[in-house]
Amino acid sequence: MAVFKLIPCLVLFALFSFDVGVAHPGFGFGWGSNGPSIGRTFSSGLFPQFYQFSCPQADEIVMTVLEKAIARNPRMAASLLRLHFHDCFVQGCDASILLDDSATIRSEKNAGPNKNSIKGFEVIDEIKAKLEQVCPQIVSCADILALAARGSTILSGGPSWELPLGRRDSTTASLNGANTNIPAPNSTIQNLLTMFQRKGLNQEDLVSLSGGHTIGVARCTTFKQRLYNQNGNNQPDETLERSYYYGLRSICPPTGGDNNISPLDLASPARFDNTYFKLILWGKGLLTSDQVLLTGNAGNIVELLNMGHDYSYSQPSKSEEYGGETADSIYSETEDLIRRDQAEIRYNYGEPVQYPPQPEALSKIACNRLQKELTEWQVNPPTGFRHKVNDNLQKWTIDVTGAPGTLYENETYQLQVEFPVNYPMEAPQAFFFPPGPLHPHIYSNGHICLDILYDSWSPAMTVSSVCISILSMLSSSPAKERPADNDRYVKNCKNGRSPKETRWWFHDDKV
Ligand code: HEM
């Protein structure tokens, strides 16, 4: 990667001294495919051109709805990816997860792994409603879920894959199946291998599919045990990297805060890349089920993690290495499902979502997004941050308090976050009111050298995710000092120049 060495600075989690890679070598989900060419036949009877004549616009419609949904709520990409996983792991990819309670159905939505957790139904409804207008009763909900998972991956900067289509929707659901087949976050490596094996998936599939955790978040309740009582002896999980552990403690206090959230991939929470694997190698996997991929001593998992770590888009042949077998094993399961007599194509799910009215200064998308972020913040502010309420949606002033046990404990600084009219397509401008915390990545004029504020910004990120990254950056600082080039940089930043005009160079992967 060409690197412009104008401002050498150290930056949190900046791991980008190499080409962008993918989190999932061979990420075909098994339920999709990394098949090499158009026209490939699939043992399941599914094929990518299934809607070529009956609904050629299907994928385009899915993508249009997704783009808007993800712009409104950046986390939606992750939620839709997970929705597909939780559908497929119960009775195959048959959209059974969409069925509500009825006289004959006990909805999977109420299963432990899904209740108050699984999201994205309204987006699937919206896609379905649009498809029904254009090609009524043609596209199955199961295919919509698969298309939405692929589209969400692409829109998060991840790879695409050839997706065989033609699934049928189930008329049954299995609450019990959802409770027993979807792995728990505190699973041991053996649990995980067994549960994946039951679905015809092997160790390599487990590692590559776990890479779905390159985007999205998890609630404290799903990993708190690791912080305070991993093995029943009131001690934290010793496999947690120390600075990461302190950062997580600041988000998840010992009591309460169970619904506070932390990114599954702290380095690039909204970007589909391979940092998830790097973080695991560094002891920064969020869930037990993530970290045991490394610590569980299961055969060649370490080697696989390293391969995920090194994988890049320029090496398509590896997807065959990883994905080929997986695809076949899952297709045979899908084959049974689409042949079932009771399978049907469901339609007419609810009304499309209505959006609030358009304000003047910001674009409609920016305004909707910010209102939503603000509402979410009010309900669930990131720990250590306080938004100073004013009537300016475009400019937020936030108090940042250093996390307990860190160099900045009990110190409070003011962060200003200003949003461009086309937010979230463009990154916000964030800086500390000078002088800001003494930190190796924070200049005395308040400018912050943090990649997600510049090159690595993704529309799927939020003010909260920016704040969490800043707090982690502070928490992992080994010393209170300014960047080595502070004086030169600040001198050159005349007349309130925006930090976004700087060409930053990120080369530090420790702080
Ligand atoms: C290997 C076993 C797995 C376990 C134990 C697991 C567990 C979890 C848990 C506990 C959460 C957080 C839920 C919450 O806080 O409510 C989560 C989130 C997530 N999972 Fe997994 N998961 C696994 C595999 C997968 C796979 C295979 C994928 C997709 C390829 C996936 C995609 C996601 C995504 C994208 C999120 C974030 C969702 C969001 O932000 O809304 N997971 N997972």
Q: Which helix (H) or strand (E) holds 415?
A: strand 412-418
- Ligand 1 pocket member 368 (CB < 6 A): no
pLDDT tens, position by position, 260-304: 999 999 989 999 998 999 899 999 999 999 999 998 877 677 777
Is there a single domain that holds both residue 340 and residue 425? Answer: no
Distance from the CA of 361 to the center of ligand 1, in angstroms? 37
Q: Which of 286, 81, 86, 96 has the alpha carbon at shortest distance from 180?
A: 86
Please tell me the distance from the alpha carbon of residue 216 to that of residue 275, in angstroms, as a whole number: 13
Is there a single domain that holds both residue 401 and residue 309? Answer: no
Q: Which of 449, 419, 478 has the alpha carbon at shortest distance from 11?
A: 449
pLDDT tens, position by position, 382-401: 889 988 766 677 889 999 99
Average pLDDT over every residue of 327-355 = 34
Length of the chain: 511
Task: Report whether pLDDT(24) > 50.
Answer: no
Q: Token pair 């590559």 is at which residue?
A: 208
Atom 6 of ligand 1: nearest residue by CA position = 185
Q: Tell whether 355 is covered by a domain.
A: no
Please check if 214 is assigned to a binding site: yes
pLDDT tens, position by position, 65-102: 999 999 999 999 999 999 999 999 999 999 999 999 99
Annotation says 387 is catalytic = no
Is there a single domain that holds both residue 219 and residue 300? Answer: yes
Average pLDDT over every residue of 314-341 = 31
Residues 432/445, Cβ–Cβ less than 8 Å: no
Please tell me the distance from the alpha carbon of residue 328 to that of residue 294, in angstroms, as a whole number: 27
From 346, 375, 396, the end of a domain falls on 346
> Domain residues for 452?
364-501
Is there a single domain that holds both residue 22 and residue 83? Answer: yes
Q: Tell whether 353 is covered by a domain.
A: no
- Ligand 1 pocket member 219 (CB < 6 A): yes
Please give the structure tokens belonging to residue 182.
């979807």
State the total domains in the chain: 2
Is there a single domain that holds both residue 338 and residue 371? Answer: no
Please tell me the distance from the alpha carbon of residue 45 to that of residue 52, in angstroms, as a whole number: 15
CATH number of the domain residue 36 falls in:
1.10.520.10
Atom 24 of ligand 1: nearest residue by CA position = 210
Q: Tell whether 206 is covered by a domain.
A: yes
Annotation says 93 is catalytic = no
Half-sphere exposure of 490 (CA within 13 A, CB side): 16
Which value, in Å, is the radius of gyration of the alpha carbons in the chain?
23
Q: Tell whether 356 is covered by a domain.
A: no
Task: Report whether pLDDT(232) > 70.
Answer: yes
Is there a single domain that holds both residue 332 and residue 413? Answer: no
The gap between the terminal CA atoms of the chain, to the nearest Å, is 22
Atom of ligand 1 nearest to the CA of 206: 1
Q: Which of the four pLDDT bands, split at 50, 70 and 90, describes residue 309?
A: low
Angle subtended at Cα 137 by Cα 133 and Cα 141, rounded to the nearest 5 degrees: 95
Q: Tell whether 357 is covered by a domain.
A: no
Half-sphere exposure of 294 (CA within 13 A, CB side): 24
Q: Tell whether 230 is covered by a domain.
A: yes
Cβ neighbours of residue 145 closer than 8 Å, sequence gap 6 or more: 80, 83, 84, 87, 93, 95, 97, 98, 124
Please tell me the distance from the alpha carbon of residue 81 to that of residue 233, in angstroms, as a whole number: 36
Could you say which of 86, 309, 439, 441 is catalytic? Answer: 86
Say what the pLDDT of residue 36 is.
30
Is there a single domain that holds both residue 450 and residue 412? Answer: yes
Is there a single domain that holds both residue 338 and residue 370? Answer: no
Mean of pLDDT over the chain = 80
Say what the pLDDT of residue 44 is.
58
Is there a single domain that holds both residue 311 and residue 388? Answer: no
From 346, 373, 391, the end of a domain falls on 346
CATH number of the domain residue 425 falls in:
3.10.110.10
Is there a single domain that holds both residue 437 and residue 497? Answer: yes
Distance from the CA of 424 to the center of ligand 1, in angstroms? 24
From 315, 346, 377, the end of a domain falls on 346
Is there a single domain that holds both residue 326 and residue 377? Answer: no
Distance from the CA of 89 to the center of ligand 1, in angstroms? 12
- Ligand 1 pocket member 209 (CB < 6 A): yes
pLDDT tens, position by position, 405-417: 999 998 999 999 9
Q: Tell whether 99 is covered by a domain.
A: yes
Residue 254, judged by CB atoms within 10 A of its CB (0-12, 13-18, 19+), counts as exposed
Q: How many helices (H) and strands (E) are present in the chain, helices listed first?
A: 16, 8
Q: Tell whether 402 is covered by a domain.
A: yes
Is there a single domain that holds both residue 286 and residue 227? Answer: yes
- Determine which of 156-160, 164-168, 305-309 has the lowest per-residue pLDDT on average: 305-309
Residues 44/332, Cβ–Cβ less than 8 Å: yes
- Ligand 1 pocket member 117 (CB < 6 A): yes
Say what the pLDDT of residue 510 is.
64
